[in-house]
Structure 1
């Protein structure tokens, strides 16, 4: 009981093509942007970005944050044309509005800030 830090993640891990379709459809119907972190368990820069993306998800509650492990959900990675990890994608109404390859926290924050309604 010493570890009281069991906080549920704000970043939703996508575990199948079906859950991807469902989560994207849900965000579209709510009219909220979706920020996707494409990762792989063997990719150190991707893993290093996990806590940063979690922090963003807590800051920007009006954006849906998803995590896709490209080895676990190959169909989604291929459909989204992800070729390197980490890849970050921002979508609105099911359409990719921004894409960033590589662990670059400043650029990620700029993309997110630019997507917010003014």
Structure 2
């Protein structure tokens, strides 16, 4: 498959510690965070991976993360994720937006609204 050699712009959260580390990094860089909560068995979640990757390429001022809810259960429960896929946009550790379901158009709108509001 073409383009697979490119490094993913969506970083995988491997543990609660890596979650905390990414959150601290985002706060120090004053960067919004886009989190895709999904699972390897969830077809709609898997279907969104390439879309989220495209968003990450176009919106490089955001930190894009992927959390597998089965691997990092405590983060998923802390973020009150009950269905997959769930997408969360955060800034300074606070949730700005939460969307449940594979609605790429709505996700794009919210990410663009966020990046447009960042421009000063």
Instruction: Please give the range of the TM-score, normalised by the shorter of the 2 chains.
Output: over 0.9
* Structure 2 unaligned regions, length at least 5: none
* Structure 1 unaligned regions, length at least 5: none
1:38 and 2:43 are equivalent in the alignment: no
Distance between the aligned counterparts of 2:107 and 2:2, measured in 1? 31
> How big is the shift at 1:5?
3.6
Q: Per the alignment, do residues 29 and 6 of structure 1 end up closer, same or farther by CA in structure 2, a change over 3 Å counting?
A: same
Q: Secondary structure at the match of 2:31?
A: coil
Distance between the aligned counterparts of 2:2 and 2:111, measured in 1? 32
User: Who is 1:91 aligned against?
Assistant: 90
1:9 and 2:19 are equivalent in the alignment: no
Distance between the aligned counterparts of 2:8 and 2:42, measured in 1? 20
- After superposition, residues 36-75 of structure 1 pair within 5 angstroms as 36-75=35-74
Deviations 1:59-86 (A, max 9, x none): 0000000000000000100000000000
Instruction: Give TM-score, length-normalised by structure 2.
Output: 0.94
Aligned-residue CA RMSD (Å): 1.3
